[in-house]
Amino acid sequence: AVQRVMLGAFFAKFAFFGVSVVLMIKVFKFEAVPFVLSFAVSFLGLYALQAVMLARLFRQSAPEAR
């Protein structure tokens, strides 16, 4: 259940960020390559950090296997 919710949230954010990138490049005339590179690095970095924090959270709250 949690995985389905997390995947749904990921795809919703992905769509929202896609629209944001298009707006920044087309409407606000940002240079595409630097903007997309910095956006991608921050996006992937934040998701990697989120994955590490969730793994730590689930590891601490899971009952120990014996």
Q: Does the pLDDT value for residue 62 go beyond 70?
A: yes
pLDDT digits (tens, 9 = 90+) for 24-49: 999 999 999 999 999 899 989 998 99
Residue-level pLDDT at 2: 83
Percent helix, strand, coil in the chain (nearest 5)? Answer: 85, 0, 15
> What separation in angstroms does the CA of 49 have from each of 13, 29, 43, 46, 54?
16, 30, 10, 5, 9
Looking at residue 46, its amino acid is L
Average model confidence (pLDDT) across the chain: 89
